[in-house]
Each structure stands twice: as C-alpha cells, then as structure tokens.
Amino acid sequence: MRVILKQDVEKVGRKGDVINVADGYGRNCLLPKKLAIEVTASNLKMIEIERTALKKKVEKERLSFRGLIEKLNEVTLSFARRSGEKDMIFGSVSSGDIRDELVKLGFDIDKKKVLLDEPIKRLGNFTVSIKVYQDDRAEVKVVVLKEEAGEEEKGPESGGTKE
C-alpha cells in the first residue's frame, strides 16, 4: 500500500514522504491515526504544496538557529575536579553538568540535546556536540582541570574562580 505521511513517524519516514507499507499497517495503524493518507493525484498535489511551504519554514528556522550555533561554537566550559592516578577524576562530568554551565551562561539547552556518549572521566580537553536544530549541531569545548588541594575552601575574596 502506498501512503503519504502527514507527520513524522519514527523508523518509517518524515512528513510528506511517499512510502510503501504493508496493507495491514497502513489500514490499521497509519490511516486511522491520521498519520498518513492514501496516494491519489489530488493528495499528491496537496502534499507538494505543503512540502514547499514546509521547506520555506524549515529554512527560516534553520537561519534563526545559525546565530545560536555560532555563539555555542565559541563557548569553552571549565570544570575543576579532584583526580587520582593516570588523570582519572573522581566522579565525572555529565551532560547535566554541561547543561547547567550553559544555562549559567544564558543558553537555554535541554539536557537531552547535549550529545555525550558517556560521562567524561579524565582530565583534558574535549569537544562535545550540542544538538541545536534537527541535524544542525554546535561544538562546545570542555576543559576538565585538576582541582588543587584546598581549592574548595577558597572563597570569592581569594580570587579563585570556579566554573
């Protein structure tokens, strides 16, 4: 059965795609839930018009996020962590930590958009991707530094800055 998707359907296709699906899946799932419509000449014309309008809208949104991506690409986050042998840190730097620091800098980023496969557990410099818009990504530099002994006791008057 050939159908036109009216919405993005995970693992099936995106809005406006013309796809072949099993007859039962199309009749029993996609059509009743109004996720798709059957392929006809009039439906194809209608979807083509919607597709061009959607492309214009998506391009506008992508351009609006371009500035955010450029700002995020310039960001460097520093984390001071206690470490042991071989530069392994106690604990880790997680996507939540990165998100919290970005929020402090004024960026409204969801934790799920921080693309970190696993938490950072070593000292060093890292590049972390942030999903900004669909396939557009920004790269944030993360520096994990060794926390000096007694740094926790330093107050703001001693000039120690902790990010």
Q: 133: pLDDT confidence band, cut at 50, 70 and 90?
A: confident
Per-residue pLDDT at 162? 43
What distances in angstroms separate CA 159 from CA 81, 153, 163, one per listed residue?
A: 18, 12, 13
| Neighbour-count burial for 72-94, b at 16+ CB within 10 Å, e otherwise | beebebebbbebeeeeebeebbb
Q: Is the confidence at residue 50, as pLDDT, over 90?
A: no
Same fold, 2-62 and 69-150: no
Q: Is the confidence at residue 46, as pLDDT, over 80?
A: yes
Q: Which residues pair with 83 in a beta bridge?
A: 89
Q: Is the confidence at residue 158, as pLDDT, over 60?
A: no
Please say whether the dihedral angle defined by the alpha carbons of residues 95, 111, 97 and 67, taken in this order, is positive or negative. positive
Q: What is the pTM of this model?
A: 0.59
- Arithmetic mean of pLDDT, 120-141: 87
Per-residue pLDDT at 160? 44
- Arithmetic mean of pLDDT, 32-42: 89
- Arithmetic mean of pLDDT, 28-54: 87
Q: What pLDDT digit, counting tens, does each position of 67-105 carry?
A: 888 888 888 888 888 888 888 888 888 888 999 988 998
Three-class DSSP category at 4: strand
**50 within 8 A of 36, measured Cβ to Cβ:** no
**104 within 8 A of 125, measured Cβ to Cβ:** no
> What's domain 2-62's architecture?
3-Layer(aba) Sandwich (3.40)
- Encoded tokens for 8: 């993005």
Single-letter amino acid code for the residue at 36? A
Q: Quote the CA–CA distance of 100 and 19 in Å, as a whole number.
A: 42
Which residue ranges make up each domain of the chain? 2-62, 69-150
Long-range contacts of 9-13 (CB under 8 A, 24+ apart): 9/35, 9/36
Query: Domain 69-150: which CATH class?
Result: alpha beta
Q: Which residue has the higher pLDDT, 16 or 142?
A: 142
